[in-house]
Amino acid sequence: MKSEDSLIACITGLSEQHLVPRPDGFKLHAKASEQFDAMATAAAKEGIKLTIVSAFRSYQRQAQIWQAKLSGQRTVYDLNNQPVCLESLDTKAKLDAVLLFSALPGASRHHWGTDIDLFDAHAVANDYQPRLEPAEYQIGGPFFAMTKWLEQHASCFGFFMPYKHYQQGVAAEAWHISYAPVADQYQQQLSCQLLAECIKQNPIAEQEAVLTHLAEIYKHYVQNICR
């Protein structure tokens, strides 16, 4: 593979060349992994145990999630955390409903190894399963102290929250952080055209509709982050 091709494969989740395995079983970009550990050490001094729920996800994995949501095998939620009935929607509205919480395969920031979903394992019982719901991270929720700590300190380690607020694209995700020094580079390398090529070569559910609306999807859900 040419180096440009291999970079594109990394950015779209088709290659794992840019990743290192971690002791916790997740895979991340080496720099993101190192800085995450440094941040976790600092947070631990304040009684917060930064714990990964999800890190790298491959194109194939994202394509499975995408398919499961569009086919109704996995529940799709709206902004109020209520289940959406996809059958009553036209194709474009279906895509929008899924894109609120699930990235298009090839365009997930989780492909980059720079983005992490996390919770505070010290704040809950050992067997607690994080649901990644806003209430867990807001005032009164078990992970609110972590949210406040991250707001103050994450940027010192290079991390930011691309979905901090809802701005007519992806829903607010207080659990999702991104390692800016690498993620910003990857975001610049990605383009709507590149993504179209990737999807054409690696078919996904509702392929035709996705390609028809790709420019709009790209603008609203990929480029539209809090930065």
Q: Using CB under 5 A, list all residues that contact Zn ion.
A: 117, 176
Smallest gap from residue 117 Cβ to Zn ion (A): 4
Nearer to Zn ion, 16 or 117 (CB): 117
Nearer to Zn ion, 70 or 177 (CB): 177
Nearer to Zn ion, 37 or 117 (CB): 117
The answer to whether 11 and 186 have CB atoms below 8 angstroms apart is yes
Q: Which of 139-147's residues contact partners 24+ apart within 8 Å by CB, and which partners? A: 143/119, 143/174, 143/175, 145/47, 145/48, 145/120, 146/43, 146/48, 146/50, 146/118, 146/119, 146/120, 147/174
Element (H, E) at 53: strand 50-54
Smallest gap from residue 217 Cβ to Zn ion (A): 18
The answer to whether 145 and 124 have CB atoms below 8 angstroms apart is no
Smallest gap from residue 207 Cβ to Zn ion (A): 24
Nearer to Zn ion, 117 or 197 (CB): 117
Smallest gap from residue 130 Cβ to Zn ion (A): 12
Nearer to Zn ion, 34 or 117 (CB): 117
The Cα 87–Cα 72 span in angstroms is: 9
Closest CB to Zn ion belongs to which residue? Answer: 176
The answer to whether 12 and 195 have CB atoms below 8 angstroms apart is yes
What number of other Cβ atoms are within 10 A of residue 13's Cβ? Answer: 26
Smallest gap from residue 176 Cβ to Zn ion (A): 4
Nearer to Zn ion, 164 or 176 (CB): 176
Residue 92's SS3 state is helix
| Side-chain half-sphere CA neighbours of 21 within 13 A | 2
Token pair 């997740």 is found at: 26
Smallest gap from residue 159 Cβ to Zn ion (A): 13
